[in-house]
Structure 1
Amino acid sequence: MKKHITLFLSLFLIVGVALAQNKGDVQKARTIPVAEIPVDPNVKVGKLSNGLTYYIRNNGKPEDKVELRLAVNAGSIMETERQLGLAHFMEHMNFNGTKNFQKNDLVDYLQSIGVKFGADLNAYTSFDETVYILPIPSDDPEKLEKGFQIIEDWAHNTTLSEEAIDGERGVVLEELRLRLGAEERMQRETLPKIMYGSRYADRLPIGTKENLENFSYDDVRDYYKTWYRPELMAVVAVGDLDVATMEQKIKDHFGKIPATTNGKTREDYQLPNHEETFIAIASDPEAAFSRVNVMYKDRKNAQPTITVDDYREGLVRNLFSQLINNRLGELRNSANPPFVFGFSFYGGTFARTKNAYQSIAQTSAEGQLDGLKALLMENERVKRFGFQQGELDRAKKSIIARLEKAYNDRDKVESGRIVGQYVNNYLEQEPIPGIEWEYGTTKRLLDGITIKEISDLINVFIHNDNRVITLTGPEKEGLTQVTENQVLALIKEVESADIKPYEDEAVRESLIEKLPAAGTIVSTTKNDALGTTTMTLSNGATVTIKKTDFKNDEVLFQAFSHGGTSLYSDEEIKATSLANGGITQAGIGGLSLTDMSKFMSGKIANVSPFLSNAAENFRGSAAPKDLEVLFQMVHLYFTDVNKDNEAYQSFVSKQKSFLGNLMANPNFYYQDKLGAKRNEGNPRYSGFPTPEKYDAADYDLAYKKFKERFADAGDFHFYFVGNVDEAQVAAFAKAYIASLPGLNSNESYIPTKFREKDAYEKFVVNRGADPKSSVSITWREETTYDDQKELAASALGEVLTIKLVEKLREEEGGVYGVGARGSLSKITFTDFDFSISFPCGPENVDKLVAAALAEVEKIKKEGVTPEDLAKVKETYLVARKEQVKTNRFWMSNLLNLDQEDRDPSYILDYEKRVNALTAEAIQKIAQEYLDENYFLAILMPEEK
């Protein structure tokens, strides 16, 4: 299909040009139709007589599941002054009673079929839209019917009872409470300038506390009646079901909604132009990070991408972003980086009607002007000298490589990753041509895109009007705040600065300059039950392969060797823990990170070595075509990691900038104090990173220990999962892994000696100006291990979460979110860990802690209801059915089998273990471990 579409478009354009030339009439040539971007033939787009739009696509991954979306083309921008926050409040109300599902019945039903509230079932509200998310099984006609009934109810059957509205006020107010803090306060100062003169400046979706407390029942009912109309809605259904069945479901459920008569006009609210440069500077004592943002808003309204020419313009802008961001990435990795990170892009703003070019950076608290100057200078450098051909060639390779990967995997994409593009097509008119068209058309168009037209974009992007410069960051003693005059002076300084052209240095073509002498494969075994092949190499290393057909263009890679930092002395681990992260920042094989970025243009492969407490590790992935590059990187990380003090200091500089004001944030401060408290007496605990600790870190020792840890490849186990060719992996393994030193060290990790106190303790931290608290209740205990106990501990967390949501959120209205989690770990000792956590108002802490503990006691005394046990089992089984068809699942579980010395039945008998799980086993876990010896940690605001 791709070839036919591409050929058609090429002929269309050729004919158009010929007609214009033959007639010699420019005016007439303009009347020739412009080639439009087609709609993917795999999706059916339709419209009901009442105006509702629908999108349907059959997609078999994952099996037996359909992703449903209800998109409403209305959000907070449509609210009246009496309705501030009610677009978002209405979203909540759709989960609190409809014609066919009374309050809580909807969530209760969906949990019973394995759909988790929050993780699967969800919704969001923004300025211009509200979208509801519902995955539903497609292999059961009754469940499928109820799924469509649910989204129909959301569209026009919400009951909005007074009791339900009042019950949800507390939940939404708690969500608003969560957003309080430095970022929210600074946004209130900067948004009026960013969105100057527009309705967007005072229509944040969360609304205001005053209005959420005081709005009338009719206010929210009026919003629902006014904006939830069929001509402002789209239903999207993508999944493992035939198109005809899904289309009939949509017609049956949504065709009966009456068409609107005399409906209020849905306006597109504008973002006005302004001649001035607005400078918005906001600071806050609790701000953890410093940021700068330069925004150049377009003078004209945003236009949809409709034609092939529009698509080509988008490619040009995409290439511009890649080129400027490659340069900013080099600055980030320079000896004295001006920012922690920096990037530029052209795209949307808060206002749907306006796009902008933006350059953004995170800096140190003292380095905002330096970061801003770096952004302005790089834009100015492009303006004066443009980009260079070598930069463009690499960017084009990268674009094609990414599209090729997507094209190769076009029949293996999960429905959840497809459905969003159809929602965006309805709401934003984003094109949906399909990857076949996009891949073919991009390849055809890229060759004709020149360095000049990309470079010339800077003159369109940057202008003195419609410019907003925003600086946000901490407010503290000794820190002088940037002023508006300083920013204006900096703009003039950059405009007249002596700037040199960018120098594009070439990089060698080979990653490894001298190939090592290959090793051999000593033996090969197969595990038919797991579907794996394991090779033992001549140096002792082990390589396990699992070939799958889950993705066409994906190979996942991991490796480990027992030992890790557990083999370090107490002094060594404290001296190196922070420095370890900087080792790979120097690059490998004599190539810097910038060199590596250039070398990897057009290649899809990545490898990261890292040290954990119990192991030396690798993690990475590659497209099959670039698997040899992955092997080469692994080889170099063993043999030729660069040691570069300048690169390390660049890393330290960025880390210190990032951490400089972290403790001003109440949540980070709380976590720091909590970690220190729970690790009292632990000689190996190094605590939260700080700039001072980075200054004290020992790079030389860290590098030495890293080389020691990766000196013996012979006790590593390497895993490859995905579309792997066994013969190819064998050849690469002999060349790049078997050739590594094997020292027969066969090390193991040293078990952790420290244990947290198993006794009741209450720990309160007072921090922060806002009326918000955080609660954590934790039980930890050393125990014996078995698989069924681990499953029961996890299930206890799921059951308790259900009960806590019912009690603390739905009944008390005291929290927005609450969760419980239980686990059993085998490394480096068998550790039972169970926690309950939730944010809330300070005035409700004691009441909600008591309520949470009461739910624990209720399970201990009365056990788990059959209904709740069935919900948890169904959730596990539904999730497993999907997970087992992913490379990620098999990689993590194969690794886990070896790291924790488990039997393969741990994977293979999972469904049997879930079905064997009993209410009594869960109750027993609660009775045995959830005793009076818990650690209660509470974050409270500072006392005034």
Structure 2
Amino acid sequence: MTKKILSLAALAAIMACKSSQTTEAPITPKTPEAPAVVEASAKEELIPSDPSVVQGTLSNGMKYYLKNNGKPADKVELRLVVNAGSILEDDDQQGLAHFMEHMNFNGTKNFKKNELVDYLQGIGVKFGAHLNAYTGFDETVYILPIPSDDPEKLEKGFQIIEDWAFNALLTDEEINKERGVVLEELRTRLDAENRMMQNYLPKVLYKSKYSKRLPIGKKEILENFHPDAIRRFHKDWYRPELMSVIAVGDVDIATLEAKVKSHFGSYPASKNPRKREVFSTQNHDETFIAIEADKEATFNQIQLMYKAVGTAKPEVTLADARHSLVDGLFSQMINNRLGELRNSANPPFVYGYSFYGGTWVRNKEAYQSIAMATEGKQLEALKALVEENERVKRFGFQKGELARAKTAMMAQLDKMYENRDKQESKRLIQPYIDNFLEGEAMPSVEWAVNFSKKEIPTITLEDVNGLIEGYLSDKNRVVIIKGKEKTVTKQQVTDLLNSVKTDTSIKAYQDETVQESLFTALPTKGSITKETKNEKLGITTLTLSNGATVKYKKTDFKNDEIVFQAQSYGGTSLISDKDYLAANLALRGVTEAGIAGLNKNDLKKFLTGKIANVRPYVSSLSEKMTGSSTPKDLETLFQLIHLNFTAINKDQEAFNSYTTKQKGFMGNLLANPQYFFMNEMSKFRYGKSPRFTGFPTVEDYDKTNYELAYKIFKERFANAGDFSFYFVGNIDEAKLKEYSELYLASLPANNSREEYKDLGFRPLSGKHEKLVNKGNDPKSQVSIIYTGETKYDAYEALYFKALSEILGIKMTEKLREEAAGVYSPRVRGSITESAYDSFNLTISFGCGPENVNSLKAIANQEVANIIANGPTEKDLNKAKEAFLLARKEGLEKNKFWLQKIADSDFDKKDINKIFEYNDAVNKLTTKDIQNVAKKYLSKGAITGILMPENTK
């Protein structure tokens, strides 16, 4: 359950990026002590806290944060935050902070083994997807969303987090059972990245305890620790003054506060507690260079790190807030430059970006530049990063760059403000966690936006340009280069770093202006010839003069959002096998050339301050566009739609840039055993198709036909009259109609109507087995796939989906909880309409090679049990509750409605039946599930098994 996240070490509600990456744990770069009140000057005035958030401290030292928020309705997000993680482990406890997190799901005072997950599944809360937790170096956070429309469910929710805080049973029996699950989680991390990380971590975390306390821990300790060691960790660190409860959701504050006090107030304060130390890392004068290679390394990556000499402090004053804005502008501008390099004719890297922000160490920040390179070009990518930093250091940024960065930041602030009362509860919580753990300020959106809009105009080039002097230094510098082979030496890296400093060929950045309009002349306006309304669903349909249709649904789910999709039948099913094989890869890169004479870099500049995007693509059965905008930028969205139909650029150089990056990304992908296994299974199942390509190789990209792809792309979007356009969100109906006439009805069209073709190929089905040997780590993968052709029936599709949900519950119960043989089993299943109707249900899990046969037998037995006996009523009810809860929340989301409306049209179904769903779910019976299990799972499965090399 350890988690990878991006940490925002910036003002919680301000759009200044200080993102950073971590492998094992959340990064929290600030010290946890509360800041002292400073009143010396205006710039030291404290940032005010959000007045809508009620904060308090119980007599035992436990803190709480409460906020009433009505989106989604009838739901509250609960968090238990513990200011203790793996950094506090003793030598004999390595991995036990994370193990303790697991144990809170395996027996507490009020929820015995499996009762917790069982209860929550019964009210629609899924283990993993909803109910979860993560352990970091410095903290452990438990996540519990709970329905709030029932007082009993709310009470149970608080009882659960009370038990997590204080009432873990930690019996020898359950501790020993859980070892297998945690060891399986550790097994998932056995890969090239982990092996290389073990080598470079001591350089990044120089002379620091952090380098010896990865949250996942050590195998030998997890296998052999005495149960008293984890009890000692719990006693030492699960203390009231090191904990906080957060509750945000559709419940009044008085009720939430009463719950907190009744559940947590009676626990006594700690007596003679163990000191909660704060750890750091030591500075170093020399530059550390780590060049790591592993034959299974998937990507070639470069990381250039300049660690700050001093200790990071929490951002609490107005001066801190202003500095965050300056830093955010710097990040935007340096990354705009790196983005332009990425989109150049000969890109030096697949991608590259820079930022100043947190590291693995809570109180240590760094300026970092990161890139992915093609094989053999790591040094070239490193040089590009170093040169761009040096260019900024010597010449600074340009006025135009700063103006665009300010415009973009202002647009994001407007978007935040417009949507301030429509944020989902789970998205509001992180600032409260940061405040508790790190002492960060937590202002309201209103304050943050008003402050930012006042300060941004006052920020000068000197403010931004001055930052990099403090970032770059020869001291505390680390360079990490990772890849399949060592193609670079340390001496080459050292020489490069030194040479760039004196390189006189580095010139100032040239900021070129771009055109001020996407159109030299507006298109000839068409008209709306017909308008109909579905009053029940609030959907309006417009027929345009060129034959195209527009469907829209006006909602108030978000104030700042309109989502869009367009579609037409056909896709690549209408081109020959020969053309498909020649152009398929190239089709994905046609749009890289830009539109209307603007390349990607110029288009990005033009769109600065406008929040609108469109992505056209050709799939197997259709040609589509997807996109979104704010209400303010709706016209820009329509303009982009029009130009993606009519004015896609043709640029071989831009396409070559795209293929160079794709080759760098895909080049070594199959060295990873998991990707290799996926590819082998694809070949096994689909390899007889005349259109099968598998994972693309470097050679495939060299052979792909851009000219043909461009021709096909233009043909597929030549007839707009064959398209349907869909818009859902906060729509101004008069404007949408005006833009539909101007930008959509004016698109070229003819009277033809196409359908996609069934090409006749059917993938492998029935009972088969495929063994794949790849990799040397002791880890395996099992995929059990039930698949084949069928005739679609909506009710049967629902039964099949419920079968999948129930099997997911059983696999977690049997393979993880009882057998302790896997970490995260997955079950995915559906019956779909396509060129031909088909069903697919896949059970997959990773495990030790020695356990493959026994765990596979358990999985197969669970399938056999449902075929023979059907599911239990209890398990069926869990699936029903999950479906009903997901549908309730989906009905309040724009993307849900967009997909349902578009899919209903594509599949030629009646959208009005959308409200029959709940009734159909409630009528589900165990016999329904058993019948579809018999029908679809009785003829055997395709079983794929990945084993290490030299293993039979």
Q: Same fold, TM exceeding 0.5?
A: yes
C-alpha deviation, 1:444, in angstroms: 0.3
Deviations 1:13-55 (A, max 9, x none): xxxxxxxxxxxxxxx9957783110000110111001000100
Aligned pair 1:278/2:288, yes or no?
A: yes
Verify the 8 A CA contact 2:616 2:644 in the aligned structure 1: yes
> 2 CA distance for matches of 1:31 and 1:508?
45
> 1 CA distance for matches of 2:171 and 2:788?
46
Question: Residue 948 of structure 2 aligns with which residue?
Answer: 941
Correspondence 1:402-481 to 2 at 5 A: 402-475=412-485, 481=487
Unpaired runs of 5+ residues, structure 1, are: 1-5, 7-27
Aligned partner letter, 1:96: N
Would the alpha carbon gap of residues 734 and 99 (structure 1) be closer, same or farther in structure 2, given more than 3 Å must change? same
Verify the 8 A CA contact 2:573 2:757 in the aligned structure 1: yes
Question: Residue 81 of structure 2 aligns with which residue?
Answer: 71
> 2 CA distance for matches of 1:538 and 1:43?
53
Aligned pair 1:393/2:403, yes or no?
A: yes
Aligned pair 1:748/2:755, yes or no?
A: yes
Aligned partner letter, 1:577: N
Verify the 8 A CA contact 2:766 2:786 in the aligned structure 1: no
Correspondence 1:20-99 to 2 at 5 A: 30=40, 34-99=44-109
Question: Residue 644 of structure 1 aligns with which residue?
Answer: 651
Verify the 8 A CA contact 1:421 1:430 in the aligned structure 2: yes
Would the alpha carbon gap of residues 883 and 848 (structure 1) be closer, same or farther in structure 2, given more than 3 Å must change? same
Question: Residue 555 of structure 2 aligns with which residue?
Answer: 548
SS at match of 1:447: helix
Verify the 8 A CA contact 1:562 1:614 in the aligned structure 2: yes
Verify the 8 A CA contact 1:787 1:906 in the aligned structure 2: no
Question: Residue 852 of structure 2 aligns with which residue?
Answer: 845
C-alpha deviation, 1:529, in angstroms: 2.0
Aligned partner letter, 1:491: L
Question: Residue 607 of structure 1 aligns with which residue?
Answer: 614
Verify the 8 A CA contact 2:686 2:764 in the aligned structure 1: no
Q: Which residue of 285, 307, 322 corresponds with 2:332?
A: 322
Aligned pair 1:581/2:588, yes or no?
A: yes
Question: Residue 670 of structure 2 aligns with which residue?
Answer: 663
Aligned partner letter, 2:796: K
SS at match of 2:429: helix
Q: Which residue of 333, 344, 348 corresponds with 1:334?
A: 344
C-alpha deviation, 1:706, in angstroms: 0.4
Deviations 1:598-648 (A, max 9, x none): 011111000000111111100000011111111111111111100001000
SS at match of 1:684: coil
Q: Which residue of 858, 866, 886 corresponds with 2:893?
A: 886
| 734-743 or 676-685: bigger deviation | 676-685
Aligned partner letter, 1:930: L
Question: Residue 828 of structure 1 aligns with which residue?
Answer: 835
Question: Residue 10 of structure 1 aligns with which residue?
Answer: none
> 1 CA distance for matches of 2:184 and 2:556?
45
C-alpha deviation, 1:528, in angstroms: 1.3
Verify the 8 A CA contact 1:588 1:641 in the aligned structure 2: yes
Aligned partner letter, 2:507: K
- Runs of 4+ that moved beyond 3 A: 28-33
> 1 CA distance for matches of 2:910 and 2:497?
65
> 1 CA distance for matches of 2:42 and 2:194?
51
Aligned partner letter, 2:143: I
Deviations 1:346-398 (A, max 9, x none): 00000001010000000012010000000000000001000001000000011
Aligned pair 1:367/2:377, yes or no?
A: yes
Verify the 8 A CA contact 2:298 2:671 in the aligned structure 1: yes
Aligned pair 1:299/2:309, yes or no?
A: yes
SS at match of 1:62: coil
C-alpha deviation, 1:905, in angstroms: 3.9
| 107-116 or 685-694: bigger deviation | 685-694
Deviations 1:489-536 (A, max 9, x none): 000111111211000000111011211110010000001122100000
SS at match of 2:428: helix
Deviations 1:281-315 (A, max 9, x none): 11101001010011011111001101000110111
> 2 CA distance for matches of 1:335 and 1:901?
44
> 2 CA distance for matches of 1:382 and 1:904?
55
Q: TM-score, normalised on structure 2? A: 0.95
Aligned pair 1:694/2:701, yes or no?
A: yes
Question: Residue 23 of structure 1 aligns with which residue?
Answer: none
Verify the 8 A CA contact 2:43 2:317 in the aligned structure 1: no
C-alpha deviation, 1:925, in angstroms: 0.7
Q: TM-score, normalised on structure 1? A: 0.96
> 2 CA distance for matches of 1:828 and 1:113?
37
Question: Residue 15 of structure 1 aligns with which residue?
Answer: none
Aligned partner letter, 1:511: L
SS at match of 1:939: strand
Q: Which residue of 847, 855, 858 corresponds with 2:862?
A: 855
Question: Residue 25 of structure 1 aligns with which residue?
Answer: none
Instruction: Give the share of equivalent positions with the same residue, in percent.
Output: 55
C-alpha deviation, 1:213, in angstroms: 0.2
Would the alpha carbon gap of residues 391 and 225 (structure 1) be closer, same or farther in structure 2, given more than 3 Å must change? same
> 1 CA distance for matches of 2:492 and 2:700?
33
Aligned pair 1:516/2:523, yes or no?
A: yes
Deviations 1:309-344 (A, max 9, x none): 011011111111100000000000001000000000
Aligned partner letter, 1:644: D
Correspondence 1:796-815 to 2 at 5 A: 796-815=803-822
> 2 CA distance for matches of 1:134 and 1:558?
34
Count of residue pairs brought into register by the alignment:
914
> 1 CA distance for matches of 2:815 and 2:544?
56
> 1 CA distance for matches of 2:739 and 2:766?
53
Q: Which residue of 127, 148, 168 corresponds with 1:158?
A: 168
Aligned partner letter, 1:534: T
Unpaired runs of 5+ residues, structure 2, are: 1-12, 14-37
Verify the 8 A CA contact 1:752 1:829 in the aligned structure 2: no
> 2 CA distance for matches of 1:800 and 1:849?
14
Deviations 1:774-827 (A, max 9, x none): 000111111111111000111001111111111111111000011222201111
Question: Residue 167 of structure 1 aligns with which residue?
Answer: 177
Deviations 1:412-440 (A, max 9, x none): 01001111221121112222101101110
> 2 CA distance for matches of 1:227 and 1:30?
37
Aligned partner letter, 2:903: N
> 2 CA distance for matches of 1:170 and 1:779?
28
Aligned pair 1:486/2:496, yes or no?
A: no
Correspondence 1:671-686 to 2 at 5 A: 671-686=678-693
Aligned partner letter, 2:79: R
> 2 CA distance for matches of 1:589 and 1:774?
48
Verify the 8 A CA contact 1:97 1:103 in the aligned structure 2: yes
SS at match of 1:882: helix
Question: Residue 768 of structure 1 aligns with which residue?
Answer: 775
Question: Residue 218 of structure 2 aligns with which residue?
Answer: 208
Deviations 1:124-176 (A, max 9, x none): 00100000000011111111001000000000100000110011000000000
| 925-934 or 535-544: bigger deviation | 925-934
Aligned partner letter, 1:232: L
Aligned partner letter, 2:910: D
SS at match of 2:522: coil
Question: Residue 501 of structure 2 aligns with which residue?
Answer: 495
Aligned partner letter, 2:488: V
Aligned partner letter, 2:114: N
SS at match of 1:221: helix
C-alpha deviation, 1:680, in angstroms: 2.8
> 2 CA distance for matches of 1:33 and 1:47?
28
C-alpha deviation, 1:660, in angstroms: 1.4
Aligned partner letter, 1:594: N
Question: Residue 299 of structure 2 aligns with which residue?
Answer: 289
> 1 CA distance for matches of 2:724 and 2:399?
43
Correspondence 1:789-800 to 2 at 5 A: 789-800=796-807
